[in-house]
Amino acid sequence: MGNADYECPHPVAIPPSKTLFKSLESSLKETFFPDDPFRPFKNQPLSKKVVLGLQYFVPILEWAPRYTFEFFKSDLIAGITIASLAVPQGISYASLANLPPILGLYSSFVPPLVYAMLGSSRDLAVGTVAVASLLISSLLGKEVNPNENPKLYLQLAFTATFFAGLFQASLGFLRLGFIVDFLSHATIVGFMGGAATVVCLQQLKGLLGLVNFTHQTDISSVMRSVFSQTHQWRWESGVLGCCFLFFLLLTKYFSKKRAAFFWINAMAPLTSVILGSLLVYLTHAEKHGVEVIGHLKKGLNPPSVSDLAFGSPYLMTAIKTGIITGVIGLAEGVAVGRSFAIFKNYHIDGNKEMIAFGMMNIAGSCTSCYLTAGPFSRSAVNFNAGCKTAVSNIVMATAVMITLLFLTPFFFYTPLVVLSSIIMAAMLGLIDYEAAIHLWKIDKFDFLVCMGAYLGVVFGSVEIGLVIAVTLSLLRVLLFVARPRTFILGNIPNSNVFRSVDQYPTANNVPGVLILQIDAPIYFANANYLRERISRWIYEEEEKLKASGETSLQYIILDISTVGSIDTSGISMLEEVKKNADRKGLKLVLANPRSEVIKKLDKSKFIENIGQEWIYLTVGEAVAACNFMLHSCKPNPAAAELNAPENNV
């Protein structure tokens, strides 16, 4: 920079400015349409655009013409297999939600048909889920007692399902699916584990044959309810329940050891229902304290539009329940669908899934169904059974329809303790302690989030656990934004590469030059912290050089290559850092500002203030320029700046 022998570095380009409309359009497109769903519509005639639009919103129209008999054979086997699991699970989960058991069968008939038309996953098996059932019981049960006012409770459950569907579909249509991403993996692991623990504890009522039981979900209330009624424990129920629980866990263990025998685990719940019903029928155990399901009404789903309680004084409770259960159902369903899609190497559209979930719950709320999603257990069975498309859901719905029309009387003698065993066996698989251990090894804060959710659910309530988990997750995001990391960079020996001296201890410091990297966007939330942190880096470096007697500090290079964006507070921070450096007789140098950053720095006149010749494309070029100034000019940066020619950046 000082004479003709110095090689002029590459200039840092300032991109052309965009109009406000273009900038807004680009930002909105990346926020709401990151998958570019309009790409297939480009340069297509109107008739083709109409067909593509229908195929987008109703995916079955896209893949149905390519459907083959070979696919149907696979889907038929998978559908019958998951139906054998759906029937006992549906009855069990409806009881868990304090709803009539028949609603569990209704909820496995209409929603799967809707999802088969609108869903984009080939492997997701639709049905009721234990966590949502627990949430409905917990949230609605606080306001309305299901035993004292069953009709109002049922109406609120349908209304909550309607609002859950409305919320889910709205997220999909408005392209707001990214909201669900705020439920991190650690949050879901802890919340699901806590909910599974609570569900297992709640099943002690059926396992011990208790009639009166607490509606609270925290462990202290449940344990108090259990041990305060020891004189009412039924040993017949306890023995029967433990036997079936052992049988279910044994089949699950065997199926895990031998993947080819997955069907044994899938058939175990229905086998338990059949064996339990036969045992009660032959021994008349219902007369000896073993409670049974009793009469189940034959026939298909009756309409329930008139039961939607929009004028109820408990409407806000129903809306809150719908939104919470809707979010949890979406988080689980989309995560499960994506997991199996990765195995088969295909893509599912998160926004389409939200629309599908929403529409099936809206339709379900009008046909006597309560909230449905994509449970992992049923989807895993569907996947292992070799399903090819969503037709397996249609086969399952058909099997449930046959059950509703002809087979419901056979469930009269089904003991409730068997349903409790089925729920407990399914829930134990959701307590993923291995994932929690993995979180501890990898990221202690994620483990804290996980345990916060778990303990909040177990010792407080489902809502408390969810609030704790989301709060801790958001706190982490805020900490990352408010306290971004900064690093001192050094030169890797025998190279022109500069990396963190913490990560690469062999990296050498450049005499007279402090190189700092800011590893986050610069916003109002972190601008003050960064100003103070940079000042502290400068002070510490000066003290270290003074103590060692090395060359005094002359230049501060800020590597902002990882700063994706900056606001006016961030620009003010850089201006204050420059003033502080000037007062100390130091020169501020910038390396590799990104497109959005350099545009704002240019518009704010900061480039004019710092001097275009002090902005470089790479850290290597900035260091070379500083070294040239140190060795060929006066050491005083102010004097060096006067002698330096323009760099034409």
What are the backbone dihedrals phi and psi of residue 514, each rounded to the nearest 5 degrees, phi first?
Answer: -110, 120
pLDDT bin (cut points 50, 70, 90) of residue 215 is low
Encoding tokens for residue 156?
A: 């609120």
408: left (phi over 0), alpha (psi -120 to 50) or beta: alpha
pLDDT value, residue 35: 66
Buried b / exposed e over 541-560, threshold 16 CB at 10 Å, is beeebeeeeeeebbbbbbbb
Domain ranges within the chain, ordered by starting residue: 69-477, 483-648
pLDDT bin (cut points 50, 70, 90) of residue 7 is low
Cβ contacts of 533 within 8 Å, gap of 6 or more: 486
pLDDT at 530 over 90: yes
Q: Inter-axis angle of helices 46-57 and 350-365, to 10 degrees?
A: 70
Rg from Cα positions in the chain = 32
Name the more confident of 19 and 135: 135
- Of 132-141, 155-164, 352-361, 380-389, give the lowest mean pLDDT range: 380-389
pLDDT value, residue 274: 87
- Report the DSSP beta bridge partners of residue 547: none
pLDDT value, residue 358: 94
pLDDT bin (cut points 50, 70, 90) of residue 400 is very high
Encoding tokens for residue 400?
A: 């449930």
Burial class of residue 342 in the structure, from the number of CB atoms within 10 Å of its CB (0-12 exposed, 13-18 middle, 19+ buried) = exposed
Q: What is the pLDDT of residues 154-185, one digit of tens each?
A: 999 999 999 999 999 998 888 876 776 667 77
Q: How far apart are CA 432 and CA 442, in angstroms?
A: 16
pLDDT at 638 over 80: no
Q: How far apart are CA 144 and CA 645, in angstroms?
A: 80
pLDDT value, residue 181: 67
pLDDT at 2 over 90: no
pLDDT value, residue 260: 67
Cβ contacts of 578 within 8 Å, gap of 6 or more: 588, 609, 610
Q: What is the pLDDT of residues 86-120, one digit of tens each?
A: 888 888 889 888 899 899 999 999 999 999 999 98
Of the chain, the percentage scoring pLDDT greater than 70 comes to 92
* Run of H or E including 489: strand 486-491
Chain-centroid distance, C-alpha 162? 22
Residue located via tokens 């408990």: 314
pLDDT at 33 over 80: no
pLDDT at 259 over 70: no
Architecture of the domain spanning 483-648: 2-Layer Sandwich (3.30)
Query: Would you tell me how many other CB atoms lie within 10 Å of the CB of residue 432?
Result: 17
Chain-centroid distance, C-alpha 458? 21
Say if CB 529 and CB 559 are below 8 A apart.
no
Residue located via tokens 């998958």: 35
Mean pLDDT of 141-160: 91
Mean pLDDT of 8-33: 72
Encoding tokens for residue 461?
A: 């309530």
Residue type (1 letter), 645: P
Encoding tokens for residue 4?
A: 């003709």
* Residue 623 to residues 269, 297, 436, Cα–Cα distance (Å): 69, 81, 45
Q: How far apart are CA 497 and CA 503, in angstroms?
A: 13
* Collapsed DSSP state (helix, strand, coil) of residue 126: coil
H helices within 179-261, ranges in order?
A: 185-202, 204-207, 219-227, 235-257
Of the chain, the percentage scoring pLDDT greater than 90 comes to 27
pLDDT value, residue 176: 78
Q: What is the pLDDT of residues 566-594, one digit of tens each?
A: 999 999 999 999 999 999 889 999 998 98
486-491 and 513-518: which strand pairing?
A: antiparallel
Alpha carbons within 13 A on the beta-carbon side of 283: 16
Residue located via tokens 């079955």: 60
- Report the DSSP beta bridge partners of residue 373: 127
pLDDT at 539 over 60: yes
pLDDT at 4 over 60: no
pTM above 0.85, yes or no: no
pLDDT bin (cut points 50, 70, 90) of residue 417 is confident
pLDDT value, residue 329: 87
What are the backbone dihedrals phi and psi of residue 22, each rounded to the nearest 5 degrees, phi first?
Answer: -65, -40
Q: How far apart are CA 337 and CA 27, in angstroms?
A: 28
- The torsion of the CA quartet 103, 108, 109, 111, rounded to 10 degrees, works out to 100
**Helices and strands counted in the chain (H then E):** 27, 6
Q: Inter-axis angle of helices 350-365 and 110-118, to 10 degrees?
A: 150
Alpha carbons within 13 A on the beta-carbon side of 62: 18
Cβ contacts of 13 within 8 Å, gap of 6 or more: 598
pLDDT value, residue 8: 59
Say if CB 104 and CB 128 are below 8 A apart.
yes
DSSP state of 406: I
pLDDT bin (cut points 50, 70, 90) of residue 5 is very low
pLDDT bin (cut points 50, 70, 90) of residue 366 is very high
Mean pLDDT of 424-428: 81
Closest CA to 237 of 268, 204, 269: 204
Say if CB 588 and CB 581 are below 8 A apart.
yes
